[in-house]
Amino acid sequence: MTPVQLYDTTLRDGVQQEGVSFSVVDKLKIVQKLDGLGIHFIEGGWPGSNPRDVEFFEKARNLTLSHAKLVAFGSTRRSKVKAETDTNLLALADAGVKVVTIVGKSSELQVTQVLETTLEENLSMITDSVHYLKTKGLTVFFDAEHFFDGFKNNSNYALRTLEVAAEAGADCLVLCDTNGGTLPDEIAVAIEAVKELTNVPLGIHAHNDAELAVANTLAAVNAGASQVQGTTNGYGERCGNANLCSIIPDLKLKMGIDCLTDVQLANLTEVSHYISEMANLVPNAFLPYVGSSAFGHKAGLHVSGLSRWADSYQHVDPTQVGNQQRVLVSELSGKANIIYQAKEIGLDLPLRGKEAKKLLEQVKLLESRGFQYDHAEASFELLIHRTKPDYQPPFELVDFMVVVEKRRRPPTRRNLEEMLSEAMVKVKVDNETMHTVAEGNGPVNALDQALRKALLQLYPSLAQVKLVDYKVRILEESVGTESQVCVLIESSDGVKEWRTVGSSTNIIEASWLALADSLEYWLLKQKTLKTPSTE
């Protein structure tokens, strides 16, 4: 099978997703991350379209990439304009890259209805643009927009657009399923037709509107495409682009195509999470291969199977993609989950049948009060520790008080209605009681600040722990504001993330429990780093 080259367009097509945008600095970091992963081509943006991308390509000149080639994106020349005076093509030629991708129309209807030009003029636009960029010594990929729709509607014309691009010197013809509605067998048929026509390497660019972007990409590779375009985590407009985080392991682990080395593949999960963090999106737990739930097991039966044979309920070894198996603890679980989980976290508890059963009962009791442990492994671990008679918590909560006040200010004050939140916290560490007060932008933040103020005196390194996600779930919606609420907190120290849970009918208390667990868990892990009090 032909070798496959990976082409990431997260920085151009990926940012079309609602809510995704990257600063120039973010983009530069992402390029380096993708280069480290082993991606062959990284599309950085469209220098002809916006000043941010112009700045990006300017700064990218100083990047040293070990593997990848940076690509600038643009479109064919405008209608009735000479290629050498077209501002978009000039910007591409000046972008400081060796590879460019230009998009042109391949569908008759798109040419006549949207571009509003003649079929002949569109062909000249393709020819002139590819030719012009080739004379500048560039590698040119031609993105045949709406190719598959065009092929269905008027295959002769769609093929002709590819033919002229090839004749003008295009180095790869990228067939685009722009609207994302094509089926895998249709992809294969169209590619067979293109192969009759030309020997120029083919690429695939699929969108996910029919949830077939990955399947269509694999079908294209099977049919002979050697360039695979997609985005990290499948970001992209509407329902997204083909997700490289699925395509890469599919190619390598299922189809035996060495698009990355084993070592590179083992970085996939980390790169996926890094880019979602850059996009300011919580990593999607349910993404295949890289999601935190991708190898999570909840049902007791599965877990007892897993403890006998690791692959009994998983399709690949999660470590191959840098992910890990996770056993979720919940009231659906059996004893096997509890034993397995305790073993996973390296607890030297003599957790045999009986103890495990007792712990399971406790989990079930707490779950009936709204604690959800399947996404709060750190709270679960604390729960196990707390069953040990000699467990010494790093701190103990004595009391807390939170005041939330809304005051109407005199009309001379600009902010007429001000919200104030203040928390008082009493915590005990090694028989010493500390009493701190802090303000915050809300009651939970005030509590967090007050608790940290107390603990930082003894544990200065706690400063690196940050709350990265805070979720509130209402458990019994029918009882309105009297509902039980479950608070899930995700924390990070910049290296690792962990999740904790709290539950109560009082949202402040639920938050407090999750917050206190988050800090207790981290301190427990750092035990050896404890700095003695300076007092």
Lay out the sheet containing 485-492: strands in order across. Answer: 466-474, 485-492, 497-504
CB of 385 to Zn ion, least distance (A): 50
Rank residues 175 and 359 by Cβ distance to Zn ion and give the closer one: 175
Rank residues 240 and 370 by Cβ distance to Zn ion and give the closer one: 240
- List all residues 6 or more positions away from 48 whose beta carbon is below 8 Å from its beta carbon: 74, 75, 87, 88, 89, 90, 91, 92
CB of 178 to Zn ion, least distance (A): 6
Beta strands in 218-303 (DSSP E): 227-230, 296-297
CB of 184 to Zn ion, least distance (A): 18
Residue pair 497/466 in contact by the 8 Å Cβ criterion: no
Residue pair 105/118 in contact by the 8 Å Cβ criterion: no
Regarding 143 and contact with Zn ion (CB under 5 A), the answer is no
CB of 191 to Zn ion, least distance (A): 18
Q: Which residue has the tokens 């940076």?
A: 70
Rank residues 13 and 381 by Cβ distance to Zn ion and give the closer one: 13
Among the listed ranges 5-13, 161-169, 499-507, 519-527, the one in contact with Zn ion (CB under 5 A) is: 5-13
Residue pair 379/371 in contact by the 8 Å Cβ criterion: yes
Rank residues 57 and 73 by Cβ distance to Zn ion and give the closer one: 73
Helices 155-167 and 184-197, interaxial angle, to 10°?
A: 50
Q: Please provide the size of the chain in residues.
A: 535
CB of 13 to Zn ion, least distance (A): 4
Rank residues 13 and 186 by Cβ distance to Zn ion and give the closer one: 13
Q: Which residue is nearest to Zn ion (CB)?
A: 13
CB of 302 to Zn ion, least distance (A): 38
Residue pair 433/398 in contact by the 8 Å Cβ criterion: yes
Among the listed ranges 13-21, 281-289, 311-319, 510-518, the one in contact with Zn ion (CB under 5 A) is: 13-21
CB of 119 to Zn ion, least distance (A): 23
Applying CB under 5 A, which of residues 13, 53, 250, 377 lies at the interface with Zn ion? 13
Classified as helix, coil or strand, 372 is: coil
Rank residues 147 and 274 by Cβ distance to Zn ion and give the closer one: 147
Give the integer Cα–Cα distance in Å for 231 and 271. 12
Total of chain residues touching Zn ion, rule CB under 5 A: 1
Give the integer Cα–Cα distance in Å for 75 and 93. 12
Rank residues 101 and 127 by Cβ distance to Zn ion and give the closer one: 101
Classified as helix, coil or strand, 172 is: strand
Query: Residues in the site for Zn ion, rule: CB under 5 A?
Result: 13
